[in-house]
Amino acid sequence: MEFILYLSQMIIPFLIFYIIGYGLLAKVPVYDSFIRGANEGLKTVVKIVPTLIGLMIATGILRASGFLDFIAGLLGQFSSAVSFPGTLVPLIVLRMFSSSAATGLLLDVYKEFGTDSRVGLIASLMMCCTETIFYTMSIYFMTAGIKKTRHTLRGALLATFAGIAASVILADLML
C-alpha cells in the first residue's frame, strides 16, 4: 500500500520531467512551446467565460425560483412507478447543467436522508454515472467551433438515462 501511495505522489513530477527531458533531447524549445500553449489556453478561457457565466446564472435561477421543486413534484409522480425517488429529480436536472450546483443538492440529500440510505446511495451513484451534458457540449463545441451538434444531445441524454437506471439497479443490489 505504501508503494502505491509513493507511486501516486511521484507520477506527476515524473511526467513533467519526462516531457521536459524528451523536449530537450528532441531539440524543441520547451519553454517557448509552454508559453505558446499557455497563451492559447488563456484565449480559450476568455472565449468560454460568457458561456460559463450564463450556465451559472441559469442554474441559480432554476434553484432559487422553485422551478426544480415544481418539476420534482410533477415528475416524482411518474418516477415512483419505476422505483426512482422523486426527490432526486432536481438533482438530475441540475446535474445536466452544473456539477457544482448538483453537488450542493447532493449534500442536501445527504443531510435529509443520510449517505447510507437508498436515496443517498442512488444519488451518489448517479453523480458518478452521469455527466454535465449542457456544460460539456457548450464548452467543447464552442471551443472547437462546431455549429451543428447532430446527434450529440440525443446520445448524451440516452447515456444519462442509462446512468440513472444503472444507479438505481446498483443501489438496489447493494442494499
**AA letter at 134:** F
Distance of CA 128 to the CA centre of its chain: 8
CA distance to 67, 70, 114, 164, per residue, from 73 (Å):
10, 5, 21, 18
In this prediction, residue 156 carries a pLDDT of 92
Cα–Cα–Cα angle for 48, 71, 119, nearest 5°? Answer: 95
- Would the pTM of this model clear 0.75, i.e. be above it? no
175: its cell numbers: 442494499
Low-confidence ranges of the chain (pLDDT < 50): none
Per-residue pLDDT, 134: 85
